[in-house]
Amino acid sequence: MRLRLPAERPVEPPAGYKIAHALLARDGTRAGFTGVSLGGALPYGVLDEAACVYGRGHRAPARRCDCGFHCLHDRTAAEALLCTAEHRTALLLDITVLGAYLRFERGFRYARQRVRTATVGPCACGAAAVALADAGWGRPGWLGLAPACAGCAGGRTAVPLAVFARLAGEGLKVAAATPAVVPPGSPDTFGVPELVAEAALLQARLDSFQTRLARLGDPGAGDTGRG
């Protein structure tokens, strides 16, 4: 006899967190997302239903398959994924788990979801993002987007955050993350005394470099004792 875990019947749908890349339809009329792992080839909307990425006929999430949407219980754990190089331009999504789901230690695998909030990280230059711009990659019919400030968006295809939210629909809220606070003691927080000391140190290093360079350029240097 196979033992089964008791079925959960929550009063409210569970919530979770995940990261995903932003997408813009080629014709500019729709916006969506694509995952960063197993389902990365299948774009999805704000309110969407999962499909088996292996093309099998069962409904997601199947117990003997990896199909279905995935999310984490903890926001901090999802934010940690944004530290890896390939995920630096991804968005942090706050989602509601809908339909059937399987609960795991760190998160859910489930059938349907609604993306409630998308948090956009800083531009590659470190400034707060005001738009999502063409990232240079995509999926068939979709352009991949990355956070961009007004200066870095340049002539690339770009949509302001509010426009992205409108194109995505379903009441999605899009917000820019606050850039990281510069830690005390960093160059950007130096006062006049610290800058004067830094300049003196650089000048001393420059003087030493010029002296060594002059010695290398002196034909007679280093020839003492050679016959």
* pTM for this model (two decimals): 0.76
Res 222 pLDDT > 60:
no
What is the C-alpha radius of gyration for the chain, rounded to an integer number of angstroms?
26
Q: What is the pLDDT of residue 180?
A: 65
| Highest mean pLDDT, choosing among 3-7, 20-24, 50-54, 183-187 | 20-24
Q: Report percent pLDDT > 90 for the chain.
A: 62
The pLDDT tens digits for 105-129 are 999 999 999 999 999 999 999 999 9
CA 81 and chain centroid, separation = 8
> Residue 139: enclosing H or E segment and its boundaries?
strand 131-139
Query: Other C-beta atoms within 10 Å of 18: how many?
Result: 24
Q: Report percent pLDDT > 70 for the chain.
A: 82
Task: Name residue, tokens 């349907």.
Answer: 112
The pLDDT tens digits for 160-202 are 999 999 999 999 999 999 876 554 554 555 566 656 666 766 7
pLDDT category of residue 210 using cuts at 50, 70 and 90: confident
> Which region holds residue 15: left if phi is over 0, alpha if psi is between -120 and 50, else beta?
beta
In one-letter notation, the amino acid at residue 56 is R
Q: Domain map of the chain by residue range?
A: 15-176, 187-217
CB-count burial class (<10 Å; 0-12, 13-18, 19+) for 178 = exposed
Q: What is the pLDDT of residue 129?
A: 95
Res 17 pLDDT > 80:
yes
